[in-house]
Amino acid sequence: MPLVVTIASRQFRSFFNGPTAYIVLALVLFSLGFLFWETFFLYDRASLREMFNLLRAILVVATPALTMGLIAEEKRTGTIELLLTMPVTDRQVLLGKYLGVLAFFMVLIALTFPYAITVATLGPLDWGPVFSGYLGLFLQGAAMLAIGLMASTISDNQIVAFFVGLMLIAAFAMIGMLLPLLPVPIASIAEYVSFTYHFDGLSRGVIDLRAILYYLSIALIAGLIALRSLESRSWS
Amino acid sequence: MVESDVMIRAESLSKRYGEAEALRDASFAIKRGEIVGFLGPNGAGKTTTMKILTCFIAPTSGKASVAGCDVQLDPVGARKNIGYLPEHNPLYTEMLVTEYLEYAAAMRGIRGNDAKRRIRAVVEETDLGPKFGAEIRELSKGYRQRVGLAQALLHEPPILILDEPLSGLDPNQARGVRELIRELGRERTVILSTHHLPEVETTCDRVLIISGGKIVADSTPQELKRSQGRETLALCLKKLDGFDGDAFVRAVGDAEEIRSVRPVASEEPAELHFEIIPSERGDARERLFHEVVARGGVVLGLERRGGGLEDIFRSLTGGKERS
Ligand SMILES: Nc1ncnc2c1ncn2[C@@H]1O[C@H](COP(=O)(O)OP(=O)(O)OP(=O)(O)O)[C@@H](O)[C@H]1O
Ligand SMILES: [Mg+2]
């Protein structure tokens, strides 16, 4: 386990060496600032729904940007060979990488707490949906990051990894919008695989075990595919 | 050979990349304390073999074990015993030398005071002191190579696998690193690959020559020279009107000290050049000298050629180059 932590902490710190992490942080903070003024002037009912929706939209682009380099960059520079000849298993490497980016994502989420607290001072805030909303945000982010990690294992090119990740994540995030266009039997399946369907319940304050299982299974399946892809050493 | 003395064993290793066969049925055993030079033309399969031994890639068929650990069944166990310097020496260039070594130590399970002590020791061993606080990206190639070596030594591994540790170093740096390897090889088993042949003669106890994915020679540099070496003599005579080169060749060719003789083209118009392969009997040089003088010729030069590793390398690998 300590090796996983070593890998995670190196990954976490390395975010601060490149521009991506700063761009993502700036994007989130800027949107929150914008949202704050809008809320302040236009709404009289305190709620974080707007914030959650905006964050989820930002995450569609931000998560593949955060994950694109996880494995792809190590492949490009060749450091993957050092990493994978240390006394660790491929699984530990992926887990470490994943925990590193997940930690960064949690910092990102934590940055929204002051906003939530400010909104709470403006009017009576129903904390139930806030907590379950944050849980949903965390779970959805965890699933998105796992998909991004998977994309990062298939190429030694970060840009390729970014677009593959973006396409897959966007598919899960946006399939909900296509529902009216789909024939009924397919639509009900599509609804079940969409992020929106599961998040909506959580953001209303309903902690549904199925939603939690849904996000965790996506993360697990993506992780297993990533492991297969890494183990194949198909790039080397 | 006592089994426990074998640190690295490869049995019929083969590796295919799609259609291409990078390694074919390679077998060898390396004992504790040996420094083995891995030689071969570009694309011969040296790096591929090292990647298999470090459990980075799996062989398509065959088996290998390192320090008694099967590379496929117990890769983590095998890796614990190996210090590895991959080809092109990849490094996290954005890190400081200290940070990088701390990270590498942590990855090897060395922490706290042990880590400090080991880092200090390898920095000393590799002469990294002056660059300890520098960013890796600022370092010259020689210093980067030392960082790569320092990383490989942190956990005091019994086995070192070094893929072209001297490539791209200037002669001074190369000498330093070569001495370091010699030093390290006193207590450790070392495999290093190189294209630099004198390297092998001065540094290695043993050479493995690989060509087209096959092991074509496996012995000591001295033995290799004895069994494979074809020493030739290069004779240079002054071109004189009274001297009949063809008659000389016929006469010398019949001598028992000489196996064969042939004239070779000369760039100097005033000289005649011959290549002579001596036989095992007597001294061909003495005979040549007498023959020339007896025919009124003048010897301008007589020197021994070849028989060095370079020639052996060329003949064993057929001068073949694969991409
Ligand atoms: N990832 C790969 N995909 C396809 N072929 C590969 C791959 N890696 C190596 N090869 C091929 O395998 C063969 C052996 O390569 P290897 O890198 O082991 O050679 P080498 O002896 O280390 O050569 P060099 O002296 O140039 O470093 C070469 O023909 C090479 O083209
Ligand atoms: Mg090589």
pLDDT value of residue B322: 41
Q: Is B48 in the pocket of ligand 1 (CB under 6 A)?
A: yes
- DSSP letter at B96 equals B
* Domains observed in chain B: 3-226 (3.40.50.300), 232-305 (3.30.70.1340)
Identify all chain A residues contacting B77, using CB atoms and an 8 Å cutoff: 87
Q: How confident is the model over A76-87, as pLDDT tens digits?
A: 999 999 999 999
Q: Which of B74, B82, B92, B95 to mutate to test the interface with A (most CBs of A within 10 A)?
A: B92
In chain A, domain spans: 2-232
Does B187 or B56 have the greater pLDDT score? Answer: B56
pLDDT value of residue B307: 62
pLDDT value of residue A185: 82
Proportion of chain B above pLDDT 70, given as a percent: 94
**Most confidently modeled range among B52-61, B197-206, B221-230, B291-300:** B52-61
On whether any CB of chain B is under 8 Å from the CB of A188, the answer is: no
Q: Can you list the residues of chain A whose pLDDT is less than 50? A: none
Q: Is B88 in the pocket of ligand 1 (CB under 6 A)?
A: no
**Prediction pTM value:** 0.85
CB contact under 8 A, A79 and B56: no
Answer whether residue B320 shows pLDDT above 50.
no
- Decide: B169 and B177 in contact? Cβ < 8 Å: yes
CB contact under 8 A, B90 and A81: yes
Min distance B238 CA to chain A CA atoms (Å): 58
Centre of ligand 1 from the C-alpha of residue B86, in Å? 13
Q: Quick one: how far is CA A236 from the chain centroid?
A: 28
A70 to each of A19, A64, A234, B185, how far by Cα in Å? 14, 10, 17, 36
CB contact under 8 A, A82 and B51: no
Centre of ligand 1 from the C-alpha of residue B46, in Å? 8
* Size of the A and B interface in Cβ pairs below 8 Å: 63
Q: Which of A3, A4, A5, A6 to mutate to test the interface with B (most CBs of B within 10 A)?
A: A6
- DSSP, residue by residue, A17-85: GSHHHHHHHHHHHHHHHHHHHHHHHH--S--SHHHHHHHHHHHHHHHHHHHTHHHHHHHHHSHHHHHTT
Q: Is B45 in the pocket of ligand 1 (CB under 6 A)?
A: yes
**DSSP β-ladder status, B6-17 and B61-66:** antiparallel
Q: How many CB atoms are closer than 10 A to CB A37?
A: 9
